[in-house]
Amino acid sequence: MPIAIVSAMHEELAAVLDLMPDESRQSAAGREFWVGHLHGREVVAVLSRIGKVAAATTAAVLVERFGVEAIVFTGVAGGLAPGVQVGDVVVAERFLQHDLDASPIFPRYEVPLYGASEFRTDPALTDRLASAVARALPAARLHRGLVASGDRFVSTTAESRALQAALPQALAVEMEGAAVAQVCHDFGIPFAAVRTISDRADDQAHTDFARFVREVASPHSAAIVQALLA
Ligand code: ADE
């Protein structure tokens, strides 16, 4: 069974695709899935697209149509907690949707009818991913813990501070992980996620974002995926 490698944007996945010599392209749900091999492992690489709904659709297609045995997400995130700086790497141990609020019917952040506000990543795959990061990027500072997802690019210092105050344990913020974690929970599929910090989710968050993703995050992803599958 193949393993899925997923990023939100092409700039994040480009270097991973360069590592797949024999990939063939298959279309489903308006997405292009690259099916091939990496270090002899069967792999399906795909762009989740941006945001929770798009990522959930992609994850469901990976499980139902491509029969993947696990999903690994690699990409960028904004740093939230004080010590999480640009260039650091965050491996997620759990995810929460910071923009989910069905109160007063359900507690803030709780996913209705799940009785939980957080979904854990798979502990064994997460350990393997963290050790791949340590081998691939020995100089990078590595953090592990809570990542917050929501349908917003957080790009003001005010919003970043509000998120830090509401969710002091959140290391980083991005736009897809919690959705993929919930889909993987529903299907019983192991999930792990790694994010290179591209910005501090503040008033400067958009400055050089595209260049950082292309020049730093994409090679990071390729090195990490290579170390994971080696
Ligand atoms: N991904 C990378 N940086 C981000 C930010 N500041 N907000 C949301 N998602 C991000």
Looking up residue 103, the CATH number of its domain turns out to be 3.40.50.1580
Torsion sign over Cα 32, 1, 124, 190: positive
Q: What pLDDT is stored for residue 166 in this prediction? A: 98
Q: Which amino acid is at 106?
A: F
Average pLDDT over residues 121-134: 98
> Residue 131 in contact with residue 182, Cβ under 8 Å?
no
pLDDT range class, residue 91, cuts 50, 70, 90: very high
Closest protein CA for atom 6 of ligand 1: 201
The 10s digit of each residue's pLDDT in 8-67 is: 998 888 888 998 877 899 999 999 999 999 988 999 999 999 999 999 999 999 999 999
Atom of ligand 1 nearest to the CA of 199: 3
Q: Which residue has the tokens 């659709």?
A: 57
Alpha helices per DSSP H over 24-152:
52-64, 123-136
pTM of the model: 0.96
> Omega before 82 cis (within 30°)?
no
Mean confidence (pLDDT) of the chain:
95
The 10s digit of each residue's pLDDT in 158-210 is: 999 999 999 999 999 999 999 999 999 999 999 999 999 999 999 988 888 88
Q: What pLDDT is stored for residue 100 in this prediction? A: 98
Q: How many domains are there within the chain?
A: 1
Domain that holds residue 201: 3-229
**Residues belonging to the active site:** 12, 199
> Omega before 190 cis (within 30°)?
no
Q: What pLDDT is stored for residue 170 in this prediction? A: 98
Query: How many percent of the chain have pLDDT more than 70?
Result: 100
**Residue ranges around ligand 1 (CB below 6 Å):** 76-78, 153-155, 173-175, 198-199, 201, 205
